[in-house]
Amino acid sequence: MTSIRSIKGTQDILPGQSQRWQALETTIRNIMDTYGYSEIRTPAFERTELFSRGVGTETDIVSKEMYSWTDQGGENLTLKPELTAPVVRSFIQHNLGGQSPMNKLYYIDALFRRERPQKGRYRQFHQFGIEAFGSEHPEIDAEVIALAMTVFNNIGLEGLTLKLNSIGSPECRSDYRNALRDFLKPHFSDLSETSQKRFENNPLRILDTKVPHEIEILKDAPQISDSWTAEDKTHFEEVCSFLDEMGIQYSIEPNLVRGLDYYTRTTFEITSTALGAQNAICGGGRYDGLVEMLGGKPTPGIGFAAGMERILLALGNVETNSKTTQVYIVGLGDAVRPTVVKLAEDLRHNNIRTQLDVLRRSMKAQMRDANKSSATIAVIIGDKELKSGLAEIKDLKTGDQEPVKIKGLVDHINSLTL
């Protein structure tokens, strides 16, 4: 029979790799804790409507990347392609804003997007991220950015660039949209089909283009900062000054924008030179209009999402300290089995990492396995040891061996530094 293979664009995380994931997750959790963020976990699937409203029908995610289906009860459901909309949904549903004026939430989760699989781009992938609800003030913008940079610096990512911009308030954006259209009108016939489509309904997204001659055209385009209100300007300057104060470097990118109306002010992206074409590690920004748009009380919010596969790719295959076996129990013969099974259990309850041969192998094969397992000591119990009540303890580094009472083994091993 042919064997069944995994779906294209999905990955198994095997032992060896899973240790790198755990190390990354532990760092993230510790740093979230230090900054006062609490974990939120939301379901794997939601109503499709949450994403069409919360992410926007014009985005790549909603227009072509969602895994959606109608279930047996006729409900339109979607595997979550991003986390901001589900977290906002949950924030509203459980009235978190009513319980506390400030809510700082984080997540580590798997997401699903039907993309063209390639290095750094998968159909199931993982993100960690945060959403901070309640403050419109620039100190939270700076904190959110600082947190992301702290995680990346802490895990040893190098070659990072923090790109920063402000897209101002919704009022300034309609001015800017007009200014941008006026500027692009004479170039309309030179624009790609995609950009021509965006021209009417969402010209800001044209700034996102990867087409070289469009980038060239856009060099002289008006900048969104020309349309900022006085408050937008102060807000951005304060974000920058707080980052300066914390010693965080950034580069201001006037074309770093988001197309949707509920995005406001700060936007940022973090890229790594250690990656190829898919070099974005983290994207974030402020979305002061989103909670209200999804049916909650008007609440300012800001967050980011970072791609974990890309982080691990950028880190390269650095060795992580994997935990190894400390004690290997070599049991020989039918009679000793209850004793060794119980001994292994007792050692493990004392937090000693213990391996027990369960293949009923020969003494020689078990000793070979013990040496390979990187255990520090082997405990050998055969019929003779069972009868005398004394197990042989072998130091696998020096080869020294000594008899120890089977009854006192756990205490004895506990007293050793393994």
Residue nearer to ligand ATP on the CB measure, 281 or 329: 281
CB of 305 to ligand ATP, least distance (A): 4
Residue 51 or 328 with smaller CB distance to ligand ATP: 51
State how far the Cα of 180 lies from the Cα of 173, in Å rounded to an integer: 10
CB closer to ligand ATP out of 277 and 335: 277
Burial class from Cβ neighbours inside 10 Å (0-12, 13-18, 19+) for residue 259 reads: buried
C-alpha to C-alpha distance for 371 and 328, rounded to whole angstroms: 9
- What are the C-alpha distances in Å from 92 to residues 11, 89, 257? 33, 5, 26
Q: By C-beta, is 256 or 391 nearer to ligand ATP?
A: 256
Nearer to ligand ATP (CB atom), residue 270 or residue 344:
270
* 283/296 with CB nearer ligand ATP: 283
174 near 269, Cβ under 8 Å?
Answer: no
Side-chain half-sphere CA neighbours of 143 within 13 A? 19
CB 405 → ligand ATP: shortest distance, Å?
Answer: 56
Number of neighbours of residue 120 by Cβ within 10 angstroms: 18
Looking at the Cβ atoms of 58 and 238, the one nearer to ligand ATP is 58
CB of 23 to ligand ATP, least distance (A): 18
Considering the complex, state which of residue 24 and residue 330 has its C-beta at the smaller distance from ligand ATP: 24
Let me know: does 199 contact 188? Beta carbons within 8 Å: yes
Write the CB contacts of 158 (distance below 8 Å, at least 6 apart in sequence): 272, 273, 274
Residue nearest to ligand ATP according to CB distances in the complex: 307
Tokens of 281: 């590690």
Burial 322-347 (b: 16+ CB within 10 A, else e): eeebbbbbbbbeeebeebbeebbeeb
Under DSSP, the state recorded for 164 is E
Q: How many residues can be counted in the chain?
A: 418
In whole angstroms, the minimum distance from the beta carbon of 65 to ligand ATP comes to 8
Angle, helices 138-154 vs 230-245, to 10°: value is 40
- Cite the DSSP H helix spans in 155-296: 170-184, 193-201, 212-218, 230-245, 290-293
CB of 169 to ligand ATP, least distance (A): 22
Question: Which positions touch ligand ATP (CB under 6 A)?
Answer: 82, 113, 115, 120-122, 125, 127, 278, 280-283, 305-307, 309-310
Q: Reduced to 3 states, what is the DSSP secondary structure of residue 209?
A: coil
Closest approach, Cβ 187 to ligand ATP, in A, equals 24
| Residue whose C-alpha is closest to residue 82's, from 126, 41, 37 | 126
In whole angstroms, how close is the CB of 81 to ligand ATP at the nearest point? Answer: 8
Smallest gap from Cβ 94 to ligand ATP, in A, equals: 25
CB of 297 to ligand ATP, least distance (A): 26
Whose Cβ is closer to ligand ATP: residue 165's or residue 325's? Answer: 165
Between 205 and 310, CB nearer to ligand ATP: 310
- Minimal distance in Å, beta carbon 280 to ligand ATP? 4
CA 280 → CA 114, 218, 289, 307, 310, distances in Å? Answer: 18, 21, 25, 8, 8
